[in-house]
Amino acid sequence: MHKISGVRIGDNLTDVKVKNRSLVLSLVKKRGLISRIELARITGLTQPTITNIVNELMASNLLQEVGTSDTKAGRKPILLAVNDRAFYTIAISFTRHGFSVALTDLGPNILYRRDSSYSVLENTEIALLELQKEFIHVLEFATSSLRLILGIGVCAPGPLDSDSCTILAHPTFLANKSLDLRPYLQEYDLPIFMMNQADAACLHEIWRGEAKEVRNLIYFMVGEEVGAGIVIDGIIYQGQDRKAGEVGHTSVNLFGPRCVCGNHGCLEMYCNTRAVLDRAREGAWLGKSAYLKDVARRRETVITFLDVIEGAKVGDQFCLGLLHQMGQYIGVGVVNLVNLYDPEQVVIGGECALAQEFLQEPVQNVVSESLLYREYIRPQISFSPWGDEVAILGAASIVLDRFIAGQLGRF
């Protein structure tokens, strides 16, 4: 039974069936390989009920048998896995410099991808025309499977209005006017779901990453933007207006430079990859890094975050210093988030995770020195393995999450 605003709402038989199928499908998805016996033990459902649910999901092509478990005695239980090619999603991810459109399966795994360097920030009308063109390219690739596409997942830097699929006008991303994406994506009448990048990436970590069994999680996303996905008791916390997690716009220096959001000394200004690259270009220009100076000369001043990482790998002291300082500021963000939410695990993701080998130590040092309850608690801190692909995978995971919850009417 569910309680909403003081009114008790009952579950009819259809609701119970959908919830039980959702529960079983979720467990198989997160555990990878699992037997019917284990499903019955974990869920508390009877063996006949589990058998019926599994048979129904297999008949829908959602589950498949994939061998037997490696037990030494008795009959070996048959293992089950999700058939990732049963359905597909279209994922769209926006950044400051462009967007990506991809066809993914239920993995989610990227099967086909189109990238564009047209930015909705700088060339809005052209970018929207390109979005329609790339969207159609992806649909054409999926022609034989159009009926199996569950929906469209969209992620972008916040703030957003997910109900209307609108990127809201705000100086941190889209300064001039709000952008309703529905007119550009509705041609094939697919449902559209939207989340900010950090929440979407957090969903991907829940379904595919190290946090599949974690009930209280912080996903700290550091790339061009800085934000956090917050999971409390297994549910993403988005706040009253779905704007929670903007840790990048908390001030770490009241007398620091003014951020585009209007605040002073925002964390994002110190640890995002744009800030690192600003210092990298300055260092190359002033001759503080021979490695970066050579890169800038060969590429006509174009320096990327990967260049900074490569410089650190070959021992360039300036690059090592940039990443060390970045790690310290990320550590400050982690401390603030842990003090606020007391999570079981913190996952650091986004483009910064590509530099894990140089960031891990300074992050851990700051946490060890500054965490309020450092003598008593020590949350697990890990880095996401998905790098800067996590945004497009997160967009796919928005649809995956709705599907497995039974909200799309496909099982």
Domains of the chain: 2-82 (1.10.10.10), 88-204+391-404 (3.30.420.40), 213-384 (3.30.420.40)
Between CA 265 and CA 359 the distance in angstroms is 21
Q: What is the DSSP pairing of strand 63-68 with strand 78-82? A: antiparallel
**Before 343, cis peptide (omega within 30)?**
no
Between CA 244 and CA 259 the distance in angstroms is 19
Between CA 222 and CA 305 the distance in angstroms is 12
User: Is the pLDDT reported for residue 187 higher than 90?
Assistant: no
Residue 231 DSSP class: E
| pLDDT of 42 | 94
Between CA 269 and CA 378 the distance in angstroms is 27
Torsion over CA: 235, 380, 354, 276 (sign): positive
- By the 8 A CB rule, do 110 and 393 touch? yes
- By the 8 A CB rule, do 146 and 235 touch? no
| pLDDT of 13 | 63
In the numeric block, the tokens 């929670």 are attached to 244
pTM for the whole structure: 0.91
**Tens digit of pLDDT for each residue in 383-397?**
999 988 999 999 999
How large is the average pLDDT for residues 183-205? Answer: 92
Nearest to 220 by CA among 327, 388, 337, 386: 337
| pLDDT of 325 | 97
Task: Give the total residue count for the chain.
Answer: 411
**Before 362, cis peptide (omega within 30)?**
no
How large is the average pLDDT for residues 309-331? Answer: 97
Per-residue confidence band for 72, with pLDDT thresholds at 50, 70 and 90: low
How large is the average pLDDT for residues 334-351? Answer: 95
Q: What is the DSSP pairing of strand 88-95 with strand 149-156? A: parallel
Both tokens of 398, joined, read 């928005």
